[in-house]
Chain A
Amino acid sequence: MSKPTDLVQGTLDLLILKTIALEPMHGWAIAQRIRQVSRDVLQVNQGALYPALHRLEQQGWISAEWGESENNRRAKYYSLTKSGKKYLHSEQANWERLSAAIGLVLKTA
C-alpha cells in the first residue's frame, strides 16, 4: 500500500484537483475515486487528504460547500474555483512534460 507520504506533495494536490474537476465531491468520494481510477494503486489516507483539502481551500484553488450526500447525510463538497481550473491546467501540463521526460530517460538510458 502506498502511503501518503510516498506521494509527492504536489502530486496529491494535482490528483485532488483533477478528480473534482468533473463534479463537486466530498472528501471520502475523492479518496474512493482516486483509488478506483488508479486501480487500487494510489490509496489516499485521510490524514493527508483533509489537510491537503483545507490547504487548497485556503489557497483559493478550491471552494467548499455543504450539501446532501448520496445516502442523505450532510457532507462537505469541494469544487474547483476559476483560478483552480487554470492552476490545474498548468500543473497538468507540467506533470505530463515531466513524466514524459522521465519516461524517455528510463526507456533510452
Chain B
Amino acid sequence: MRWLRSISNRLRNLVRKDAVERETDQELRFHLEREITQRISSGMSPEQARRAALLEFGGVEQFKEDCREARGVKRIESLVADLRYGLRSLRRSPGFTIVCVLTLALGIGANTAIFSMVNALLLHPYSFRNLDSLVRVWEDRGIDEGYDARYIAPADAEDLRASNSVFDGLTTYSMQSFGLGAKGDVPPVLGCRVSSNFFDVLAVTPAAGRLFAAAEEQPGADQVAILSFGSWQRRFAGDPRLLGKTITLNSRVYTIVGIMPKDFDYPVPVELWVPLALTPAEKTDRTQLSLSALARLKPGVSVSQAGAVLSNFSHRLEKEYPKTNAGRATTLLQLRKELYMFTLPLFLLLQAAAGFVLLLACANLANLVFARMIGRQREIALRAALGAGRARLGQLFLSETLLYSSAAGVVAIAASFASVRALRTSIPVGWTKWVPGWDGIRVDSSVLAFTILAALGVGLFLGLATVLHTSRVELNKTLKETGTGTVTRTKRRVRSTLVVVQVMFALILLVCAGLTIQGFVRLANVYQGFEPARVLRIEISLPEKIYTDNVKITNFYQQILRGTAALSGVQHASLVTNPPASNVDSATTSFTIEGRAPLKPSDMPSADLQIASPDFFNTLKISSVAGRTFSDADSANAARVVVISRGMAARFWPKEDALGHRIKLGARDSTEQWLTIVGVVGDVRQNWWNPVTRPVIYRPFAQASQHSMTLLLRTSSNPTSYVSAARGVVRQTDPAIALQGINTLEEEIADSIAIVRIMGILMGIFGLVALALSSIGVYGVLSESVAQRTHEIGIRLALGANPRDLMKLILGQALKLTAIGLAVALPCAVAISRAMASLIFGVVTLDFTILGGFTALLLLVALGAGYLPARRAIRVDPMISLRYE
C-alpha cells in the first residue's frame, strides 16, 4: 500500500510537475501570511509585521529546492536535462552521430543476427514440451562408428519398451527417402517411418487431422501418411481439403491423415511421416541395429538413474541372447546434448567472432568519443569549475553514450529483422534441409532482449570508459588555455592502445575466417577420396511389382548403362547404391572372414555395403590400390567377387594381402555365399560429418541387384546439359520409370556441407568488417595526430624538412601501431587455429600462408589508412599552420 502510494506520488511529482510546484508555492505563501497575521495581532504594524516575517522566513527558493529534493524529483530531472542536452549535441553534429550509431549498429546487429541463429538452433532447437526429459537411446557395440551410427535392434527396443521402469514412453523410427508421385519425374522426398507412439512421446499434436493409430503399425494397414507443414505448403499449396486425399510413395498409395505444425521437424526436416510397419521377422530381429530410438524420462528420473537401469537391461539381454547381444551396452544421451556435440563448437565460434566485431566497433567508437572529448575539454572544465562533481559529470557522459547505443540498438533491431529475413531467404532450401530448427530463426522476445541488453551494455561500457578517460581534467590549465585544447601523452597512448587492440582482433578474425573457408573448401574437395567435378547424379527407383526378379532388374540397368555411356560427351556411366555426400548412411552388414576363429556376435566385423556397376570406380576416379575392379564378366552366373576399401583391408588384414581371401555376409552359419576379394580401392569419405572412414564392401550389381540405384555420369562438359539425354535413355527403356534427385555431385556436396558454407560466409563478412573497422581506427588516430601536430609540421617544413621524410614519419607511426597489434595477435591466432583444428571436423590445419597473407594485408591496409593523413601533413602550408594558433 505504502509503496503504491509512494510510486503514485512520485509519478504525480514528475508528470504534473507544474501543478506540484504551484501547490508548494501556495503552501509556503499561506504559511507566510499566517506569520504576518500573527505578528499584526500581537501589535505590529502591517509593514513591520511583513518585514519581520520575511526576514525570519529566509530564502523561499532554497526551501522549494529542498522540498523538491525531498520529493525525490531532482535526480530524475537532472537526468532528463542531461538526456535533452545529449540529444541537442547529437543533433548539432549529425555526421559524428551517424558514424557512431552505424558503427555500433553494425556491431550489435552482427551479434543479434548470430544470436538469433544460436537462439533458434541451439537454445530452442526443438519446441518440444520439457525438452530435457527427452533422450536418445541406442546400443553401443564398443566400436567407434561415428555420430550417426546410434541404432537399436527392433526386438531389443520392444523388450525395453515392455520392461522399462524409467521411461514414460519409448519410440523408434527410421529415415527413408520416398519417390513421390505415380508417373513422370518422381521427386525424392525425405520421410521418416515412425512407431505409432512417436508423436505422443514428443508430446506434439497435429495442426490438422490425426496421429497414427496403433493398428496402423501392421504391414498392410500402414498406408497412411502425416505431412510436414512445409511440405503441405510447398507441394500442395496449402490445400485446405488435403486430409483424406491420397499420394503415391514408392508406387504405393497412402492416405493423408494429418498435417504437423509449422515448427515440427524431428528428427531432421522431413516432408512426411509414415507408420513403421515391421514384418514379424523384422520385429524379432536382434542382429541388425536398424532403428533409431527416442524416449521420454518419467518425471523425477534422472539421466544417470535411467543409465543404471539401462545397463542392467543390457546385462539381462546379454545373458538371455548371448549369440546376438553379447558386448552390447544400451546407452542414452539427452536430445539437447546430442545436438550440442555437433553444432555447439560452430556457434560458439560464430558468436565469439560476432563479439569480436562488437568489441572492434566499441574500440572505434571509444576513439571517436575520446577525440570529441578533447574538443570538449573546456566545457568539461567549466562544468567542473561551476561545481559539477565527478558523479554528475559521469551521469552526463553516460546519458550521452547511452543515447548513442540506444539509437544503435534501435537501428540494430530494425536491421536484425531485415538480416534474419535475408539470412533465411538468401540461403537455398537445399542448404538447410539438414539443419534442425532452421525454420525457427526469427527475431523473438529473447533476441530482442539480447539486443537491448547488448545496446545498454555497450552504452554503459563506453560511458564508463569516457568517465575514466576524462576524470582528471586539469581545471586551471584547461581554462587558461586559448587554443583548441591539448592532448596529454597518456591520453594519446590510450587511443593508440585501442588501435593496437583493433588490429589484433582484426587479424584474429581474418585468420578464423580464412581457416573456416579453407575448411569448407577442403571438405568440398580434398577429403572425399574421389573427384566430384563434372559428375551428374540421378536416382532411379524401380517398382517392385513389375521388376520382380534379379534378371529383369539387371537387364534394365544394363540397358540404361549402355544407352547413357553411348551419349557423346559422357565418359563414364555407372550405378551405385549410395553415392558420396548423400547425407544418408550406407547399409551396414556384419560379415565373417573365412578361416578365422569364430567370434562372439558383438565382435563380428561390420562394414558398409555398396552395390556398384563395373565403371563406378572410373566414374568417380576412386583409385585402385590392388587387384582389379569389376568388369562385365562379373555377371550373375560368374564366381562371386567383392572389392573392398583400403581402410577395410588395413583393418582386417593388417599384415597380409587381402586379395584372394573369402568373406561371407552375416554369421558363419548364414546361407549367404562366400565372396572372394579381388580388389582393393581407395577410401571414400561418405558423409562429411562423420570423421570416421568406415570400411566398405563393394559388390558387382549383377550379383546383388537392387531396385533403387543412383546413376552417375562423368561428362566432358557441364553435367546439367546431359539431363534430358539421360532422361531420354530411361524413357526408351521403360517410360514408366521415374527419375529423382537430379543434381551435379559437386552441388550435392556443397549442399550437404551448407552449415560450414554459411559459417564460412558469415566469418568472411565478419573478417571484412573487422578489417574496415581497424583501418578506420588507424586512419582516425593518425588524422588526429597530424591535426595536433600541424604547428610542428609547419615549423619543420618552414625550416626546410624534406616532405618525403615527413611522410615516412607519419607512415612509420601507422606501421608501428599495426606492427605492435600484429605481434600480439600472431601467437593468439596460432593458438586459435590449433583450437579450430580440433573443432571443425579435423579439416582445418594451421596454415602459414593464411597467417602470412592476412598479416601482409593488414600492414598494407594500415599503410593505406595512414597515407591520407600523411599526404595532408606534407601539403601543410607553413604560413597557415604557423598562423593557426
Interface residues on A, range: 20 to 34
Q: Which of A27, A58, A69 contacts B9 (CB 8 A)?
A: A58
Tell me, yes or no, whether B31 is within 8 Å of chain A by CB.
yes
CA distance A60 to B6 in the complex (A): 5
Q: Report the nearest B residue to A52, measured CB to CB.
A: B70
Tell me, yes or no, whether B5 is within 8 Å of chain A by CB.
yes
CA distance A57 to B67 in the complex (A): 11
Task: Given A50-B63, A54-B71, decide whether A74 and B26 contact each other with a Cβ distance below 8 A.
Answer: yes
* B30 A46 Cβ-Cβ under 8 A: no
Contacts of A47 in B (CB 8 A): 58, 62-63, 66
* A74 B30 Cβ-Cβ under 8 A: yes
Q: Report the nearest A residue to B9, measured CB to CB.
A: A58
* B28 A60 Cβ-Cβ under 8 A: no
Task: Given A28-B35, A46-B63, decide whether A58 and B1 contact each other with a Cβ distance below 8 A.
Answer: no
* B5 A50 Cβ-Cβ under 8 A: no
Contacts of A28 in B (CB 8 A): 30-31, 34-35
Contacts of B28 in A (CB 8 A): 46, 50
As a 0/1 sequence over residues 52 to 84 of chain B, the CB contacts with chain A under 8 angstroms (1 = contact) are: 000001100011001101111000000000000
* B30 A59 Cβ-Cβ under 8 A: no
Residue from the set A26, A50, A74 with the largest chain B CB neighbour count within 10 Å: A50
CB distance from A79 to the nearest CB of B (A): 13
CA distance A4 to B59 in the complex (A): 15
CA distance A76 to B1 in the complex (A): 22
Contacts of A52 in B (CB 8 A): 70
Tell me, yes or no, whether A55 is within 8 Å of chain B by CB.
yes
As a 0/1 sequence over residues 50 to 88 of chain A, the CB contacts with chain B under 8 angstroms (1 = contact) are: 111011011111010010010101111000011100000
CB distance from B583 to the nearest CB of A (A): 67
CB distance from A20 to the nearest CB of B (A): 15
Q: Which of B1, B6, B67 contacts A54 (CB 8 A)?
A: B67
* A73 B33 Cβ-Cβ under 8 A: yes
Q: Report the nearest A residue to B67, measured CB to CB.
A: A54
CA distance A15 to B63 in the complex (A): 20
* B30 A69 Cβ-Cβ under 8 A: yes
CA distance A84 to B141 in the complex (A): 75
Contacts of B6 in A (CB 8 A): 58-60
Tell me, yes or no, whether B518 is within 8 Å of chain A by CB.
no
CA distance A45 to B28 in the complex (A): 12
Q: Report the nearest A residue to B57, measured CB to CB.
A: A46
* A55 B30 Cβ-Cβ under 8 A: no
Q: Which of B5, B37, B63, B66 contacts A63 (CB 8 A)?
A: B5
Q: Report the nearest A residue to B3, measured CB to CB.
A: A60
Contacts of B481 in A (CB 8 A): none
CA distance A46 to B790 in the complex (A): 61
Task: Given A55-B70, A71-B37, A81-B2, decide whether A60 and B9 contact each other with a Cβ distance below 8 A.
Answer: yes
Interface residues of A in 81-98 (CB under 8 A from B): 81-83
* B67 A81 Cβ-Cβ under 8 A: no
* A82 B1 Cβ-Cβ under 8 A: yes
* A73 B3 Cβ-Cβ under 8 A: no
Contacts of B10 in A (CB 8 A): 58
As a 0/1 sequence over residues 2 to 39 of chain A, the CB contacts with chain B under 8 angstroms (1 = contact) are: 00000000000000000000000011100000000000
CB distance from A96 to the nearest CB of B (A): 24
CA distance A74 to B22 in the complex (A): 13
CB distance from B21 to the nearest CB of A (A): 12
6 CB < 8 A contacts A-B: A46-B58, A50-B27, A51-B70, A55-B71, A60-B2, A82-B1
* Chain A interface residues (CB < 8 Å from chain B): 26-28, 45-47, 50-52, 54-55, 57-61, 63, 66, 69, 71, 73-76, 81-83
Q: Given known contacts A50-B31, A81-B2, what 13 new A-B pairs fall within 8 Å (CB)?
A: A27-B27, A46-B28, A46-B31, A46-B57, A46-B58, A47-B58, A47-B63, A50-B24, A50-B67, A58-B6, A58-B72, A73-B30, A74-B26
